[in-house]
Structure 1
Amino acid sequence: MRDERILLVDDEQGILDIYEVLLRKEGYLQIEKAMNGKAALEFVRSSEYDLIVLDVMLPDVEGFHLCNQIRQYTEVPILFVTARSSDLDKITGLGIGGDDYITKPFNPLELMARINAQLRRQRVYTTNRAVQSQVWSYEGLVVKKDEGQVLVRGEDIRFTAKEFELLIFFCEHPHRIFTVNQLYESVWNDASFGDEKTVVMHISKLRRKIEINYKKPEIIINLKGIGYKFIPPSKGEGE
C-alpha cells in the first residue's frame, strides 16, 4: 500500500471508476473522487493531496479556471486528463499551473506512467524540503527557522522580524566572531554608516530573551574591541 493521497476530478463516473481500478492495482488506496468543481474545491480546502487528476470539461466550471482556484491552496502536481486535445488547450493547461496533460482516450499504461512520474517528483520535492528545513535545538533554546518560532526553556517567546533574523544568522554561524559592521551588513542587508547602536540594541534585546542572566551573557558574548560571538548552549541540529 502506498501512502500518497490522490484526488480524481471528472464528471463521468465510468472514467472515475477506471482511474480507481488502475490506481488500486498500483497500490494507491487513498483516493477521493469529485464529479464537479465545487466538490473538488471543497476537498482541496479540507484535505491535503499528493496529486490531482483533473478533467477540463466539468459541468459547473472549466478545469483551467478550477486549476487556478486550486493553486490558491496547494502546489501539488495537477495532471490534466481531457478530451480537449488542441495545442492551445495543452499550452493553456500547462501555462496556468498544470504539471502534465494527457488526452482522452488514453492508454492506461501511459496514464499510470505519468501519474507515477509526478508522484515520484513530488516525493523528491517533499524530501528535499524536509532536508532544507532548519531547526536548531540547543540546551534550553530551540529555533525553528521555517516556522518563525523560538522556544526558550520550553516557553514560546515572541521576537520582532529583525531580532529573529539576527538570531538565525548567529545560529547559522556559531562560534564565529563578527564585528558590528559585519552583523549590520549581513542582517540589515545594507552598508553600515553609524548604525552601531542598532546592532547593539538588538543584541541586548536578544540577550534579555534567551540568556538565563542577560547581565552575564553566556550565549551571545562580546569580545571587547573585536565583535560578537554566538556560543550555542550545546551542540544542536542544523549546525
Structure 2
Amino acid sequence: MGESVKLYYASSIQDALSHLTRFPYQLIVVQAGIYKEKTHQLIQTMRKISQIPILVIMLEDEDKSIFYVESGADIAVKVSSCREDILANIYALIRRYLSWVENNNNTQDIIQIEPLLINQISRKMLWDNYEVSLSKHEFDFLYLLVTAPGRVYTFEQIYETVWHEHPHGNINNIVWCMVRRLRKKLRKKDSRAGDIIRSVCNVGYYFEPIKDENT
C-alpha cells in the first residue's frame, strides 16, 4: 500500500453520515468516547448505510471490544495499542473490503430469489412466473436493491443511480412516489410482494426476500 492516502475528519455525526452517502471510502475509524451508547448508535447507523470496514479506537480503560463488534464494527483496539498492530489491522480490513467490492461488482444478468426473478438483459421482472410491467426507473431501482439484499441505499445513492443525475430538489419525495407506485404493482400479484422493499426512516431503502411461511 504505497499509494497516497486521503483522509477526511468529520466535524460531526451529521457530517460523517453525509460524506458516507456521497463519497467512496475504504475504511471508517471511530474514536470512542465516554458515551458508549452514542457510539453504539452511530456504528449501527453507518453499518445500515455502508459495508465499509469500521475500526473503533477504544478508551484505555475499556476492555470489552465485543460491544463495538456487536454494534457493527469490524474490530476495536485500545488507543494505546502498538502502531504496527493498528496498521496491520487497517491493511487487513481494507484488503478484505476491496476484494469484497471486486467480487460484488460483477454484473448479474439474471437474479432469482424465489418467487422473484429479474432479468437484466431482457429487462423483465417476474413474480411467481408472472411478469410485472415496470417503468425504466422502477426496474433500475428494484435491480439495484436486489443485487445486494440487506444493503441500505440512501435517497441520494438511489437518485444518482436510477436517474443518472446529481441529487437536486426534493429527491426524497421523488423516490418515495416511485417506490409507492412500484409497491402497488407488486401487491397486485401478491399481497406480500410489496414488502420486499423495506424502508429506513429518513435514510433510504433495502431489499428483503420473502420469508418462507413453512420455516
TM-score by length of 1: 0.45
The structure with more radius of gyration: 1
If each structure's strand is expressed as a fraction of its own residues, which one has the higher value?
Answer: 1
- TM-score, length-scaled by structure 2: 0.49
